[in-house]
Amino acid sequence: MLRKTDVEPLPDRKDDDDDEGTPVSVKIRERLNAARKRFHANDNIAEFIQPGELESLLDEVEVKMKGVLESLVIDVENDHNTDNTARRVAKMYLNEVFRGRYVPPPPLTEFPNAEHLNELMIVGPITVRSACSHHFCPIIGKLWIGVMPNEHTNVIGLSKYARLAEWVMGRPQIQEEAVVQLADLIQEKTQPDGLALVMEAEHFCMAWRGVKEMDSKMINSVMRGVFLKDPSLRREFLSLLPRKS
């Protein structure tokens, strides 16, 4: 039996800064699990990454990518063509093609709809670059965005639609989900009466591997609000898109 003076010591608790031996990816994953947040390939996890951790994550990815090259039986020590390839690939994934997972959304300057604009506006084509989450092969295409504002709609600069698209597409994606994610984001930011998106893209997972079909493209659309309810408005939007050659 323990006396009052015989207090059992509590187990040591290590915070993120003290636990030097834990890979940074494990620390980030533990925060996500503790918050019960999803971290699928096309989710943004920026709020769970602390300052300086992206640099450490880059180092970790580099080490593991070097292991992938070695498992492919590539002589990374003597092959001058793959010297530093692991580092380049790590930087490409974290700082470029999958950047949309690791950084906060781009800042938006919003303006009130002072003139009460309520006419159809179309932005595009916006070039989109992503990668399929099945094979990590590129998805390259064009995006058109139609907005039907109302007097309460927040007006954002035209370039900001491209910035938002870049942020959402900069993750491993499938096209169907990416367009819905972007529509949800624009709807939240601008609150229009209607929103329409059309995306047409080539998928290198189909052109570069598999059936190796070079000319096939995928087109999909999302219609919200009055675009969904008003067939004539929907036809007007679609008719104004550049015709495919």
- For residues 112-121, one letter each, b for 16 or more C-beta atoms within 10 angstroms of the residue's C-beta and e for the rest, the string is ebeeeeeebe
The answer to whether 164 and 145 have CB atoms below 8 angstroms apart is no
Tokens at 238, concatenated = 């679609």
pTM: 0.84
The pLDDT, as a whole number, for residue 4 is 43
- Helices 53-71 and 24-34 cross at an angle (nearest 10°) of 120
Per-residue pLDDT of the chain in tens (245 residues, 90 and over written 9) = 444 445 444 444 445 455 778 999 999 999 999 999 999 999 999 999 999 999 999 999 999 999 999 999 999 999 999 999 999 999 999 999 999 999 999 988 766 665 666 788 999 999 999 999 999 999 999 999 999 988 777 778 888 999 999 999 999 999 999 999 999 999 998 889 999 999 999 999 988 888 888 888 999 999 999 999 999 999 999 999 986 54
HSE-up (13 A, CA, CB side) for residue 39: 19
The pLDDT, as a whole number, for residue 7 is 43
CA 34 to chain centre: 22
The pLDDT, as a whole number, for residue 18 is 54
DSSP bridge partners of 203: 139
Give the helix/strand (H/E) hosting 197.
Answer: strand 194-203
Phi, psi of 141 (to 5 degrees): -170, -160
HSE-up (13 A, CA, CB side) for residue 115: 4
The pLDDT, as a whole number, for residue 115 is 62
